[in-house]
């Protein structure tokens, strides 16, 4: 069964990495089930401009799911030299300010490790980066983000393909159990009639009774136990589910609602069951429909 529009699951993972200049980067995108589209992201300081791109890229590909996108970067300092420098002017200032105290013997000569702890002596070195390198990295990061999101999309497509196979199996099993229930339902009418006649014989013994009235009572009981309507609805729900899967796309909410309808009919059928075979069929239906509902929650 190939849907008209691809079916997507809601779990998956995508990754892209690269390096431009002295900065290596890694994009990661992961997704789990969610009732709506919820996009969260984490980027290092200085890369906040990618936040709108993340939201737009996710909303363009996905309709539902809780998505987490993260960017990590690492700068190779071996290519740019030290990231700190010594402010020699501040060192000279501190030495000059304490020279008289040293000369008077009031303090010891300063040690280098002590000077390094004084404010202003150690400061960040300015990293001068050509504009063309920065722009090339931003372009590579934009391409990498798209690649990571594409990877996540492919993973969700693969999950969707697996779900299609599973839904086909579950719906086939529901159809088979429904057919078994139909046969059991026909036998149930006869079983109710025989049970009423047997009970009447046990209770009344040789006392004469009206057979016509007995048949009326049996018919009333059979009517209460009639599950034809539930079986028809189960068959209709099965066809509707197959139609939805053939349609594809973002059908997760509809499938979830349909699974609830399946569950309602199976509960009613089990409650009406007066024959052991029909009770078994009802319980098998409920177990299979629970699986269907669980998998429907994985569909976008």
Best mean pLDDT range from 14-18, 191-195, 276-280: 14-18
**E-state strands within 21-64:** 23-32, 37-42
Percentage of the chain exceeding pLDDT 90: 51
pLDDT tens digit string along 77-112? 655 555 667 878 888 888 888 888 888 888 888 888
Higher pLDDT, 211 or 50: 50
The whole-angstrom separation of Cα 247 and Cα 7 is 9
The whole-angstrom separation of Cα 165 and Cα 162 is 5
pLDDT tens digit string along 44-82? 988 999 999 999 999 999 999 999 999 999 987 655 555
The first and second tokens of residue 48, run together, are 């906040």
Q: What is the pTM of this model?
A: 0.73
Domain extents in the chain: 12-79+131-156, 84-124, 159-296
The first and second tokens of residue 45, run together, are 């300081």
Give the right CATH number for 12-79+131-156 from 1.10.3470, 3.40.50, 3.30.230, 3.30.450: 3.30.230
The first and second tokens of residue 72, run together, are 């990590």
The whole-angstrom separation of Cα 27 and Cα 71 is 5
* pLDDT at residue 223, rounded to an integer: 46
pLDDT tens digit string along 262-294? 999 998 888 877 777 888 888 999 999 999 999
The first and second tokens of residue 284, run together, are 């098998």
The whole-angstrom separation of Cα 110 and Cα 27 is 48
pLDDT tens digit string along 147-183? 999 999 999 999 999 999 999 999 999 999 998 888 7
* pLDDT at residue 4, rounded to an integer: 83
């Amino acid at each position: 069964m190939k849907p008209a529009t691809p079916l997507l699951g809601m779990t998956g993972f995508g990754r892209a990495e690269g390096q431009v200049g002295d900065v290596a980067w890694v994009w990661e995108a992961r997704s789990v089930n969610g009732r709506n589209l919820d996009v969260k992201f984490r980027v290092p300081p200085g890369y906040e401009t990618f936040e709108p791109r993340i939201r737009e890229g996710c909303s363009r590909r996905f309709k539902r799911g809780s998505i987490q996108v993260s960017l990590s970067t690492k700068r190779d300092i071996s290519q740019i030299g030290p990231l700190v420098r010594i402010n020699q002017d501040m060192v000279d200032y501190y030495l000059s300010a304490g020279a008289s105290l040293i000369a008077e013997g009031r303090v010891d000569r300063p040690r280098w490790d002590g000077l390094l702890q004084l404010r202003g002596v150690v400061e960040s070195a300015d990293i001068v980066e050509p504009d063309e390198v920065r722009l090339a990295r931003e372009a590579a990061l934009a391409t990498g983000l798209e690649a990571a999101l594409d990877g996540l999309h492919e993973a969700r497509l693969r999950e969707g393909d697996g779900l299609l196979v599973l839904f086909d199996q579950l719906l086939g099993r529901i159809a088979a159990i429904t057919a078994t229930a139909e046969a059991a339902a026909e036998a149930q009418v006869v079983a109710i009639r025989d049970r009423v006649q047997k009970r009447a014989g046990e209770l009344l013994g040789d006392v004469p009774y009206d057979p016509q009235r007995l048949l009326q009572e049996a018919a009333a009981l059979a009517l209460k136990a009639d599950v034809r309507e539930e079986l028809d609805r189960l068959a209709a729900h099965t066809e509707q589910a197959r139609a939805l899967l053939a349609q594809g796309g973002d059908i997760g909410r509809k499938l979830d609602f349909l699974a609830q309808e399946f569950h309602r009919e199976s509960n009613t059928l089990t409650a009406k069951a007066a024959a052991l075979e029909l009770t078994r069929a009802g319980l098998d239906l409920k177990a299979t429909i629970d699986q269907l509902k669980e998998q429907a929650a994985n569909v976008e």
